[in-house]
Structures are given as structure tokens and as C-alpha cells.
């Protein structure tokens, strides 16, 4: 027979153990609900012009981006990228940057820095390849074991999804073509993905490309050649037109500074007008073209010299070149 004091001590001990167990479970449950959700992670391999553009876009909201602009002073008057040291905001993506040049990495104090791509890739579920195409094969041969289970996004020109699959071992691949205005958060990116991407992947992809401007998803990878020729190379076409207008201004006796102002301001103002006016491009052109006026005379000259044919042939030449690079 158990004496009463010993029995009461045993009951008290069991009660205490039960209390500790329940308390531990309650604390664990509370921590689960109070713990902030983990941010998705992204590693950018290569912090050159385009790699930097994505890093800036994700860390410093710009006009035209989905995220609100907290500090308008981080852009200078010419619409250039923020100066080094500009405010970098917290982002919904945990950003890791990898480059052999530490000076490039120092521009982004809010991101985690790596010079070893293997260590950088190990930290993220998504990898953005922003290196030169000619160095991709050698680089990816060493990295493929680490990439096979990752969402891999490539902005390298001329490397197909099929080739990327062979080089990385991944089935979840995105091939994309951004353009130079992405460096000011106003780019246009066309992208195509494999069928293996998940709904979460799709959200991640859109978040990344929204950070540098507008995006279009393509179901047919071959259309990326036309995207490259139209929007990828397209800024150069507009720059050439502005350049030629500036040269004509010099011929008409304007100073170099005056000619540059006329050409650049016309290009910038036209772009901003297109961005803020709901009318079609045809309607906007017609709004400038008065019957019997100077613009009509200039456009008639363009037509007589078959400007439309020249542009079509130029874009076709870019598409053909792109296809050759893909081979």
C-alpha cells in the first residue's frame, strides 16, 4: 500500500510534467503564429548593367514599378539611377548578390554579398543568371548540381530554354529578354517559362520582372526573337532617330548644346506623353499632324522614301541575327 504523502508527491510530479508539456506546446504554437513569414530568396549571379538594374529595382522602388516610391530624391533630374548611397528599402524578396567585383556589390548594402557563386546559390530558392552568354557554359558546368532543384531565370541573350536545361539540370526555367530602360525601372521584359514552373514560381517571376518595368509572358519561346528585335534593340532605334534630329539641328546652325536639348527633350517628352495619354500611337501622331502643315510634309517624305519598309527590314535583320545566335 502506497502511503499518502508519497502518493500525493507522485500526483504532484505528474501534474507538473503535464503542465510543462502543455506550456511547451502552447509556446510553440504561439511562436508559429507570431513568427513573420519567411521572405522568398533570390540570388543574382552577375552584377553588371542588367544585374544591377534588377538589384536596384528590388531594393529601391522607381516610377513605373509596382512598389511605391518612398524617396523621390533618389532619382536625379535626368531620370538616371539613384546615386550610390541612395535609400534602399526593405523588399519582399531576400536578395543575395554574387560578383567577382566587390566594388559592384558595395552599391547594395541591403543585400547579402558573395564572390563564390556556389555559396550564393545555396542561400536561395531562385537564381537569376545575369552573366555574359560567352562565359555561361563554363560557369554553369560547375554550378549545375546546385541548380537542378532551383527556379532558374536567365536574361542571357542567345541561350535557349533547352540549352539552359542541359547546362543547369533544372526543369523550372525562365528565359527572358529585358531592355536597357530596365536600368531606370521603365524596361519591357518578354519572358517564357517551362511547364514545370509552379504557381508560386509564377508569382516570384512576375515580382522580379515588375521591379524593372513592364512585362509580357509568352507561351511560344520563338517569339523571344521578335521581342529581342523590337523591344530589346528598340531603344537604339529611338536613340538613332533623336541622334539624327540633333545632327540636323547642328546643320541648321544650332549649337551642340541647343541641338542636344532639342533632340533629347523631344524624345523624353514624347515618351512621357505616350505613357500618360490613353490615345493610340496613331491618334497621337495624328494630333501632331495638321492638314497641310509642316509635320504632314515631313511624314509624306518618310512615306515616299519607304520608311516603313526600312523599319521592317531592320527588325527582320535583328530577328535573323538573333536566331543565328540561338544556334
Predicted local confidence at residue 85, as pLDDT: 38
Most confident of 109-113, 137-141, 156-160, 213-217: 213-217
For 114, the grid coordinates are 558573395
**CATH superfamily ID and name for 234-326:** ProC C-terminal domain-like (1.10.3730.10)
CB 190 within 8 A of CB 221: no
Predicted local confidence at residue 163, as pLDDT: 93
Predicted local confidence at residue 134, as pLDDT: 84
Q: Is 157 left (phi over 0), alpha (psi -120 to 50) or beta?
A: beta
Q: What angle do CA 9, 12, 13 make, to 5 degrees?
A: 85
Q: What angle do CA 74, 106, 56 make, to 5 degrees?
A: 40
Predicted local confidence at residue 39, as pLDDT: 76
Reduced to 3 states (helix: H, G, I; strand: E, B; else coil), residue 39 is coil
Q: Mean pLDDT check: name the lowest of 32-36, 80-84, 153-157, 319-323.
A: 80-84
Predicted local confidence at residue 272, as pLDDT: 95
CB 252 within 8 A of CB 197: no
Mean per-residue pLDDT for 64-78?
35
CB atoms within 10 A of CB 51: 21
What pTM does this model have?
Answer: 0.77
CATH class of 41-222: alpha beta
Predicted local confidence at residue 137, as pLDDT: 84
pLDDT in tens, 184-217: 999 999 999 999 999 999 999 999 999 999 999 9
Q: Mean pLDDT check: name the lowest of 54-68, 73-87, 198-212, 310-324.
A: 73-87
What's the mean per-residue pLDDT of the chain? 84
Q: Mean pLDDT check: name the lowest of 132-146, 150-164, 233-247, 275-289.
A: 132-146
Predicted local confidence at residue 31, as pLDDT: 44
CB 148 within 8 A of CB 168: yes
For 277, the grid coordinates are 495619354
Predicted local confidence at residue 90, as pLDDT: 56
CB 175 within 8 A of CB 152: no
The residue ranges of DSSP E strands in 144-269, in sequence order, are 151-154, 173-177, 187-193, 213-217
For 22, the grid coordinates are 502543455
Q: Where are the domains of the chain?
A: 1-35, 41-222, 234-326
Residue 230 has what DSSP assignment? I
Amino acid at each position: 500500500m502506497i502511503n499518502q504523502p508519497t502518493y500525493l508527491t507522485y500526483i504532484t510530479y505528474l501534474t507538473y510534467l503535464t503542465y510543462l508539456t502543455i506550456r511547451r506546446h502552447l509556446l510553440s504554437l504561439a511562436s508559429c503564429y507570431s513568427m513573420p513569414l519567411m521572405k522568398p530568396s533570390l540570388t543574382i549571379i552577375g552584377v553588371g548593367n542588367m544585374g544591377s538594374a534588377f538589384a536596384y529595382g528590388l531594393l529601391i522602388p522607381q516610377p513605373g514599378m509596382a512598389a511605391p516610391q518612398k524617396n523621390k530624391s533618389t532619382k536625379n533630374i535626368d531620370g538616371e539611377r539613384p546615386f550610390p548611397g541612395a535609400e534602399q528599402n526593405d523588399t519582399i524578396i531576400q536578395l543575395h548578390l554574387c560578383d567577382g567585383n566587390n566594388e559592384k556589390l558595395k552599391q547594395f548594402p541591403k543585400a547579402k554579398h558573395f564572390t563564390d557563386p556556389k555559396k550564393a546559390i545555396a542561400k536561395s530558392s531562385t537564381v537569376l543568371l545575369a552573366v555574359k552568354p560567352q562565359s555561361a557554359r563554363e560557369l554553369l558546368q560547375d554550378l549545375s548540381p546546385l541548380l537542378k532543384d532551383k527556379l532558374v531565370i536567365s536574361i542571357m541573350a542567345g541561350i535557349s530554354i533547352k540549352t539552359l536545361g542541359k547546362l543547369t539540370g533544372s526543369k523550372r526555367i525562365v528565359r527572358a529578354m529585358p531592355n536597357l530602360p530596365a536600368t531606370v525601372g521603365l524596361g519591357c521584359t518578354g519572358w517564357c517559362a517551362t511547364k514545370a514552373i509552379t504557381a508560386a514560381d509564377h508569382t516570384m517571376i512576375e515580382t522580379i520582372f515588375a521591379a524593372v518595368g513592364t512585362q509580357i509572358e509568352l507561351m511560344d519561346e520563338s517569339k523571344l526573337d521578335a521581342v529581342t528585335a523590337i523591344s530589346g534593340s528598340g531603344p537604339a532605334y529611338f536613340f538613332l532617330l533623336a541622334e539624327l534630329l540633333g545632327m540636323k539641328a547642328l546643320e541648321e546652325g544650332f549649337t551642340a548644346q541647343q541641338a542636344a536639348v532639342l533632340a533629347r527633350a523631344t524624345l523624353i517628352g514624347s515618351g512621357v506623353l505616350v505613357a500618360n495619354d490613353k490615345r493610340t500611337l496613331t491618334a497621337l501622331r495624328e494630333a501632331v499632324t495638321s492638314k497641310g502643315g509642316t509635320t504632314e510634309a515631313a511624314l509624306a517624305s518618310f512615306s515616299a522614301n519607304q520608311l516603313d519598309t526600312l523599319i521592317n527590314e531592320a527588325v527582320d535583320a535583328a530577328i535573323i541575327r538573333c536566331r543565328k545566335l540561338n544556334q
